[in-house]
Amino acid sequence: MASLLTQWTEAGLVGPLGHRFAQAMGRLAGESDGEVLLACALAAEAPLHGDVCLDFNALAAQLAARGEGHALPEDTPDPEAWRARVATSPLATGGGAPLVLSGGRLYLARYHQHQSRLAHAVAERAGRTLQPADPAALRLGLQALFPDAASATDGVDRQQLAALVACLHPFAVITGGPGTGKTTTVVRLLALLLGEARAGAMPWPPRIALLAPTGKAAARMTEAVRRQIASLPVDEAIRQALPTEAATLHRALGARPDRVKLRHDARNPLTADVVVVDEASMVDLAMMARLFDALRPGSRLILLGDRDQLASVEAGSVLGDLCAERERFSPAAATRIARYLGPLPQALVDPAGAPGVGDTTVNLVRTWRFDPGSDLGALAAAVNAGQPEPVLALLADPARKAISRAEPEPGDPVGGLRARAVAGYKPLATATDPAAALEALGHFRVLCAHRGGPLGVRAVGQRIERWLAQAGLIHPEAPFYAGRPVMVLRNDYAIGLFNGDVGVTLPGPEGPRVWFPQAHGDPRPIAPARLPPHETVYATTVHKAQGSEFE
């Protein structure tokens, strides 16, 4: 009779990596209990699907979230009895065990270490408050930099509130959907912090690091920050001290291709006085833990991101977890805020709330990019609320000109996209200049929910490539044809390309080159032979497209 582990593997609920890992660990530890080995396999595979652990009480939900359509087998162990068996196994007991059992969750040891370190670091920073060097100047700065506060519809300008919260704590989270003004807020916040530094709160000029998880995100952050700086109502000394270039987290922390250890850690921390991380929802647990390790005790950290975006492709939804605590301030925090902004609306204060991460988090809710009542605004609100019926009704409404549903043709679920896809990608296919080609690629993209299946990235991307070839816009006989868009699939520290970076192929005197945007300066060419693993990217998963700001 096949073992429990083999049965689950044959049912498609355990992959080959988890199966082999569990077998190897079992041999090394002398563990043969089938339930323990199954738990070991599931815990090992959890990070491959964005989870940091196996949750014994929520296994069905975890598998469903991965897109596994299987029901749990009838012989699935009882969660409590299962956990108890694992608790006595040498795989999860004693120093150096590969697994850690914590409550009803089973972790690979290193992910438990990352989570424990990060939780401690966040709690320590969130529990501290900072006294402004010049409270009167801070109050005036808040008024000057956020002049629209008096017209806030719900009694508080959340951009102004977020800036103040970040001035009063060494750690802050500013979250909000697309177009809610996160970059505007953080640039004005940095101007306030520069004023604080000039008053003695930090060295002058303070060292400010603007970071993002990918090269594309860093380039967009650089562009957005530079736009904002020009219109700031600040003196020239402050304007000149504001940072104008963003870097990737990997580069800032000193990632090297020949080793796992980063150059910057607790023993060799970053020199920055202020660290700002954009697109924080894309930062996985391990990288976030390493970032906190590398911060100086007296530094400040500000995380920007959208809590409603999908979590990192790697394991751990750090930003979502940080924003899940509460949306109201403790009385102590409300009292501090009132000294600068006046009393907060009662809806934002929890009378019984204890100081914690919630006091360092502000959610921006007003959309500046489009009217909340517009077609896109209504659709975004329905999607975020998880309401499929209103979403479908909006897409079917002929009065909604900015959104529509592409009806599938008989026997062809994506055929209805042909005309729009060809028109949308024509500027890319006909571009001859690297900057123009990258700009065209940033204007239009087909997004898919999944990678596989007839409506997935692979199938849809192949159809689009065929349509463009039939229209005479591309000539894909050669693998690196003019206009081919390419997405990097694996980090390559040696050449500075990272998972999710997107480039465009163009011919050149020395053969085709794939051009990638940089955080600063002109696009840079990479020879195809030097590229890390990559794929054609006419279609992109929603996950990989986050933060792209396509038109």
Q: In which band, very low, low, confident or very high, does the pLDDT at 151 lie, cut at 50, 70 and 90?
A: low
pLDDT at residue 153, as a whole number: 66
Beta bridge mates, 99: 108
Domain ranges of the chain: 4-108, 127-364, 370-403, 406-545
The SS3 of residue 286 is helix
In three-state secondary structure terms, 355 is: coil
- Over range 133-148, report the average pLDDT: 92
Q: Which segment of 238-242, 495-499, 524-528 scores lowest on mean pLDDT? A: 495-499
Q: Is the pLDDT of residue 310 over 60?
A: no
Chain center to CA of 375 = 26
pLDDT range class, residue 286, cuts 50, 70, 90: confident
How many other CB atoms are found less than 10 A from the CB of residue 333? 24
Let me know: does 179 contact 368? Beta carbons within 8 Å.
yes
What's domain 127-364's superfamily in CATH? P-loop containing nucleotide triphosphate hydrolases (3.40.50.300)
Tokens, residue 24: 């190897």
- With CA atoms as reference, report the closest residue to 540 among 497, 490, 502: 502
Closest-CA residue to 42 (of 83, 81, 90): 83
Which tens digits make up the pLDDT trace of 78-136?
889 999 999 999 999 988 899 999 988 999 999 999 989 998 999 999 999 999 999 99
pLDDT score, position 342: 92
Does pLDDT of 257 surpass 80? no
Q: What is the pTM of this model?
A: 0.78
Quote the pLDDT of residue 1: 36
pLDDT tens for 417-469 read: 888 899 999 999 999 999 999 999 988 999 888 777 888 889 999 999 999 99
Read off the pLDDT of residues 10-47 as tens digits, 9 standing for 90 and up: 888 888 999 999 999 999 999 999 999 999 999 998 88
Contact criterion met (CB below 8 Å) for 167 and 192: yes
Mean pLDDT of the residues in the chain: 87
Q: Give the pLDDT confidence of 172-207 residue by residue, as tens digits.
A: 999 988 778 899 999 999 999 999 999 988 999 999
Nearest to 278 by CA among 317, 222, 206, 358: 222
- Say whether 406-545 and 127-364 share the same fold: yes
What are 345-400's pLDDT values in tens digits?
998 999 988 888 889 999 898 776 666 678 877 887 787 777 788 888 888 888 88
Give the E-state strand segments of 297-392 in sequence order: 300-305, 361-364
Start-to-end CA span in the chain (Å): 57
Under 8 Å between Cβ of 495 and 526? yes
Of the given ranges (37-41, 187-191, 307-311, 516-520), which has the lowest mean pLDDT? 307-311
- Among 3.30.70, 3.40.50, 1.10.3470, 1.10.10, name the CATH number for the domain at 406-545: 3.40.50
Q: What gap in Å lies between CA 85 and CA 336, rounded to an integer? A: 50
Over range 255-272, report the average pLDDT: 85
CATH of domain 4-108: 1.10.10.1020
- What's the average model confidence in pLDDT over 406-420? 80
Give the E-state strand segments of 135-288 in sequence order.
171-176, 208-212, 246-248, 274-277
Tokens 């700031």, residue located: 232
